[in-house]
Structure 1
Amino acid sequence: MKNRPPYAIASVDSALLLATLLQHEGPMRVTDAAERLGVSASTAHRLLGMLVYRDFAEQLPDRRYGPGRILERTPLPQAPVARLRELALPHLRRLVDELGETTNLMVLTGPDVRFVATVECEHVLRVGDRTGRSLPAHLTSGGKALLATLAPGDLDRALGQHDDETAARLRRELPTIRRQGFAVNDQDTEAGLTAVGVAIPDRGGAVASAISVSMPTARYARDRLRAWSVALSAAAAAIAADLDAA
């Protein structure tokens, strides 16, 4: 299971995470960056200054900081992703309280999903923060749940990016996911990690998104699968309703 390195360089980690947040969510103030990173405003200001120097960020006329030219090639519509994250976080926190495991929010970007929010559980052995990571959609629980919602033409294009064997396996697997409403990633992305994911219902929004609960495989139990999927589906429906009302 891939978690934070024991000898992580905090400043490098903070700078990389901040660059990712700018790319995914768009412009933010120094105080916003400080809050998201859990650092002081002066530290956030220094990090933003270095990102500007290396063209990962730029300062805008209103004194906020936005993604720089190196980060301009992103398929994510920033405002909808930031709003999605804001509305989803309370539901992710409630899921952690209910299920006792880490929860995630992800969006579909071409053949991958990008994690845009994580709420960690309190277990010592737990799945860590995935915010900013990209993983192949066909291997993740939320990604497979999203692929199962695609229209036939879109699905054909998505599967066309894979080799024949992978595409054939997905064509066999997706109808079951579509019928049951959830997908499972049993160590497909990382050894020792299992996750259950559901797609957030699409009501004409611009961002295809999903949520998941992830845990060490040692705590995964098939007899809890229905409870996890029901809780996830309820949270996904609530997020969709909040998006409609926003």
Structure 2
Amino acid sequence: MRNKPAYSIESVDHALRLAVLLQQEGPLRVSEAAGRLGVARSTAHRLLSMLVYRDFAVQGTDRRYAAGPVLGSPARIEPVAHLRHAALPHLRALVDRTGESANVMVLLGTQVQMVATAECDHVLRVGDREGRLLPAHLASGGRALLARLSREEIESRYADDAGGVTSEEVVRIVRQTRRRGFAINDGGTETGLTAIGHPIGDAARSPAAALSVAMPTARYHRRLLPDLGTALAEAAAAIDRDLRASEPP
């Protein structure tokens, strides 16, 4: 399980988090960056200045900072930011209900990217995964989303063994997920980690997103599946309702 290292350098961690925010959610003002990181405005300004110096960020005429050439131009910023905003309260409620960490992720080709995490209070826990990219066929939320795709869509997405896996292997994983009725990652992405995933909304929702509850394998047991599945389904439905309610008519 890859949690935040005890020897991490806080300024480096802040800079990396800022880069992820700019890449995922688009332009930020200094005050907004400071609020997201929980640091002083002066600290946020120094971090952003360094990102600009190294081409991870650029400053516009409106004084907001955006993703720079190193990060590229993020696609569909507004929907991802909207999803994150809608999901966070429900992620926290899901943590309270299950006692384990919860994530929301979006499907990007053959990968999923974590866009928000709510951590539980256990000393031994799955830590913050925000910004991480994982193979969709291994992550629980990715499996939940792939299970919605047709065989043709899977073959197109995994043509020429994209993502380091063949389309036939992905089809087998999808069949197993559909048979189970649950999307499970049992040590697939990290040894000692087990996660259960559930899609958000219907297959037409864009960006395609899913929820997961992740825990140390030592605390997982199959008897937990029904309760975890119900909690995930209800949280996913609540997020979808909030997203629909805030969409323009």
Pairs within 5 Å for 1:183-222:
183-202=183-202, 204-222=204-222
Distance 1:220 1:172 in 2: 24
Deviation at 1:218, TM superposition (A): 0.3
Whether the 8 Å contact between 1:181 and 1:198 is mirrored in structure 2 is no
1:82 match: 81
Provide the residue aligned with 1:242 in structure 2. 242
Q: Deviations over 1:29-76 (max 9, x none)?
A: 1111112112111111110011111111111222211111221244x3
Task: Give aligned-pair identity as a percent.
Answer: 56
> How big is the shift at 1:241?
1.4
Q: TM-score w.r.t. structure 1 length?
A: 0.94
Bigger shift: 123-132 or 179-188? 179-188
* 1:94 partner amino acid: A
1:169, distance to aligned residue in structure 2 (A): 3.5
Q: Please, what is the CA RMSD of the aligned residues?
A: 1.8
Please list every run of 5 or more consecutive structure 1 residues that lacks an aligned counterpart in the other structure. none
Q: Please report how far the alpha carbon of residue 160 of structure 1 lies from its aligned counterpart in structure 2 after TM superposition.
A: 2.5
Measured in 2, the distance between the counterparts of 1:223 and 1:195 equals 14
Q: Amino acid of the residue matched to residue 221 of structure 1?
A: H
SS of 2:11's partner is helix
CA distance in 2, matches of 1:165, 1:153: 16
Q: What is the CA distance between 1:99 and its match in structure 2? A: 0.2
Q: What's the counterpart of residue 127 of structure 2?
A: 128
Deviation at 1:185, TM superposition (A): 0.3
> Residues of 1 paired with 2:81 and 2:207: CA distance?
11
CA distance in structure 2 between the aligned counterparts of 1:121 and 1:110, rounded to whole angstroms? 29
Describe how 1:164-179 pairs up with structure 2 within 5 A. 166-178=166-178
Deviation for aligned residue 1:203: 6.3
Superposition map of 1:17-56 within 5 A: 17-56=17-56
Query: What is the Cα deviation at residue 206 of structure 1?
Result: 2.5
Task: Deviation per CA, 1:82-109: give whole Å up to 9, x if none.
Answer: 0000000011010000000000011111
Counterpart amino acid of residue 97 in structure 1: D
Change over 3 Å in CA distance of 1:151–1:244 after alignment to 2: farther
